[in-house]
Amino acid sequence: MHAGTEGRRDEGTNARWHDGTEARKHGGTKVEPRAFARAAAPGTPSGDQSLAAPDSAATVRERSARPMQVVSRAFSRASARGAAFTLVELLVVISIIALLVALLLPAFGAIRNTAKVTSTTAEFQAIATGLDLFRAEQALGGTLPPSSSDANDQNKDKIAFPLADPPAAPSNPDTLVTGAHLLAFALVGADLRGTAGFKDIDADGFWSDDSHNRFNATQRKENGTYAADTDPNNYGQPAWPRYPSSGSYVADDLKTKRVETLNAMKEEGRIFNYDLDQPFDDDNTGKLPLFVDAWDRPILYYRANRAARLMVQDEKDKAAGVYRQEDNGLITGTSKAAQNRKGLDFGRGRDPNTGLYCDIADATAPTPNYKTEDIQGEGGSTKYQYTFARFIHNPKVKTANEPVRKDSYLLISAGPDGTYGTTDDVVNWSRETDQ
């Protein structure tokens, strides 16, 4: 082997400099590949061109990359070993996450309920606006809609079914109805095509027997409130004018998203108080529309009887009151044994003997001279502690027993717990004192 070649092999070791070039070590001095080749050429035979010729750019790049590849692979293996978690570490992380979830879930639930309270309150305002428009329409009587049927005692709380298919007119009202239903009748109509009002069409003194949908082309007075024309030229057109012309006293989104039926709520278990083991007396009731709150439960409606002497109706002697708890008895409870429901809570909870909430049959009304502080329990009296009277009593009036909003109406949502008569109910008055 030639001396020049041997000397180059001994002292010529590939190295990587900071600027990325390849060089040979000669006492720590950086020598460019081309210059090094020229320096070694004199001692190299003319037939051997390998040392004299400079390396190509591709060869230089390939050789330069090899050390970095080795370092990169080594670093990757070390990182992989360092990133692994032990079982104990994983369990600790999982426990911390579970603890955070447990702490935050109640807060998230409270935020959701607060949003739903706000939504329901806004819905109450929309309903209030709708009721003002209803009352302003003289063709509908110029008054607030009723919250109970006007039928006689035998058919009390019943009306003629407005959605019969085929249309029919019963001789007597046959379908149970609540204030919640009649609120929907007034604002969107029983068939959701606009309200026809509460008219005594046949002039017998009652509107409840005229709320059917049978049509009579020759005897106009036999047409029901919700009758539709059967003539081919006008088929399906209402026999009586509907109000308003748009078909609803509330916004369309409220009409489409917040109007449901008891049947749907019962099937999905969304009526907490309702006795699911006891069917409706007439399945037609479950088909009637009503407004629901943000929790998809019925919004109760009670219209004030401004001529009544008592603040609430006395269910024992049937003396009239400004408000009548039984207006929504199908949902909240009723004194009729055949229709007994679980009732409003009013803070008492379930009766340990019957499993029911407040039984309306036990409801008594305070007389006008009864002390206001006793109704509120300030004097230690518990007589009205768990009653409808206490729930709607106006504590600001000290000279007489009066309900809140004695000249208008009440709206009640069961609130987050789904139970009417508790402190989380959403109502359309200010509850300054709670049970």
- Give 222-246 pLDDT, tens digit per residue: 889 999 888 888 888 999 999 999 9
Tell me the range of 29-43, 69-83, 116-130, 258-272 where mean pLDDT is highest: 116-130
Chain segment 296-332, per-residue pLDDT in tens? 999 999 999 999 988 888 766 778 899 998 898 778 7
Residue 211: what pLDDT? 94
Q: Which residues contact 405 (CB under 8 A, 6 or more apart)?
A: 304, 428, 429
Q: Give all strands (DSSP E) within 227-271, no chain letters.
A: 259-261
Give the integer Cα–Cα distance in Å for 400 and 368.
6
Joined together, the tokens standing for residue 54 give: 């400079």
Instruction: Give the confidence band of 185 by pLDDT, cuts at 50, 70, 90.
Output: very high
Longest CA–CA separation in the chain, Å: 135
Higher pLDDT, 374 or 282: 374
Give yes or no for residue 12 having a pLDDT over 70. no
Residue 3: what pLDDT? 45
Give yes or no for residue 390 having a pLDDT over 70. yes
Identify the bridge partners of residue 16 per DSSP, sorted by sequence position. 22
Give yes or no for residue 47 having a pLDDT over 60. no
What average pLDDT does the chain have? 77
- DSSP codes joined into one string, 63-113: HHHHHHHHHHHHHHHHHHHHHPPPHHHHHHHHHHHHHHHHHHHHHHHHHHH
Percentage with pLDDT > 90 across the chain: 35
Lowest average pLDDT, out of 40-54, 154-168, 331-345, 358-372, goes to: 40-54
Tell me the range of 38-47, 144-153, 185-194, 389-398 where mean pLDDT is highest: 185-194
**130 within 8 A of 187, measured Cβ to Cβ:** yes
Q: Which residues contact 220 (CB under 8 A, 6 or more apart)?
A: 239
Q: Which residues contact 334 (CB under 8 A, 6 or more apart)?
A: 157, 326, 340, 341, 360
Residue 306: what pLDDT? 92
| Cα→Cα distances 115→10, 112, 295, 321, 333, Å | 83, 5, 11, 35, 29
Average pLDDT value for residue range 358-378: 67
Identify the bridge partners of residue 14 per DSSP, sorted by sequence position. 24
Instruction: Give the confidence band of 178 by pLDDT, cuts at 50, 70, 90.
Output: very high
Residue 245: what pLDDT? 92
| 412 closest CA partner among 391, 384, 387 | 391
Instruction: Give the confidence band of 44 by pLDDT, cuts at 50, 70, 90.
Output: very low
Give yes or no for residue 38 having a pLDDT over 70. no
Give yes or no for residue 4 having a pLDDT over 50. no
Residue 27: what pLDDT? 47
How many CB atoms are closer than 10 A to CB 162?
A: 24
Percentage with pLDDT > 70 across the chain: 66
Chain segment 48-80, per-residue pLDDT in tens? 444 445 556 556 556 555 555 654 565 555 555
Instruction: Give the confidence band of 428 by pLDDT, cuts at 50, 70, 90.
Output: very high
Give the integer Cα–Cα distance in Å for 435 and 418.
17
Joined together, the tokens standing for residue 153 give: 């005692």
Higher pLDDT, 411 or 4: 411
Give the integer Cα–Cα distance in Å for 149 and 265.
23
Instruction: Give the confidence band of 267 by pLDDT, cuts at 50, 70, 90.
Output: confident
Give the integer Cα–Cα distance in Å for 221 and 30.
116
